[in-house]
């Protein structure tokens, strides 16, 4: 079963703009993670935020977590063509469950 629900399902923005994706979940978690998947099969771990953290940065990525609202957001600043991919949030307790994903397309 899937727990995370990403919003929007698809997003197209101009190169250089910021992209924001949201994730909502239903149950308690130990941490929440974001992954990227380029066309094909490779899944890459981007960032992990623990349940006692509210914000985390990694390069051009900024993740927030609001456990009271059971939601997280992923912000990609100054987007590049190479950021075109599907992005998934995944919630973790004793197993890791993926949301449906957001397809991000960066327009040149």
Partner 1 sequence: SAVISQKPSRDICQRGTSLTIQCQVDSQVTMMFWYRQQPGQSLTLIATANQGSEATYESGFVIDKFPISRPNLTFSTLTVSNMSPEDSSIYLCSAAAEKLFFGSGTQLSVL
Would you say 41 or 69 has its CB closer to partner 1? 41
Q: Is 16 left (phi over 0), alpha (psi -120 to 50) or beta?
A: left
Residues of this chain that interact with partner 1 (CB under 8 A) are 1-2, 31, 33, 35, 41-43, 45, 48, 88, 90, 92, 94-101
CB-count burial class (<10 Å; 0-12, 13-18, 19+) for 27: exposed
Would you say 33 or 71 has its CB closer to partner 1? 33
Would you say 43 or 75 has its CB closer to partner 1? 43
């Amino acid at each position: 079963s899937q727990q995370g629900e990403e919003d929007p399902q698809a997003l197209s923005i101009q190169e250089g703009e910021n992209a924001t994706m949201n994730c909502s979940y239903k149950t308690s978690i130990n941490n929440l993670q974001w992954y990227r998947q380029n066309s094909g099969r490779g899944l890459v771990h981007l960032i992990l935020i623990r349940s006692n953290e509210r914000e985390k940065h990694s390069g051009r990525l900024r993740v927030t977590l609001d456990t009271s609202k059971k939601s997280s957001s992923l912000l990609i600043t100054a987007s590049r063509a190479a950021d075109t991919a599907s992005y998934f949030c995944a919630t973790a307790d004793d197993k890791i469950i993926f949301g449906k994903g957001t397809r991000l397309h960066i327009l040149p």
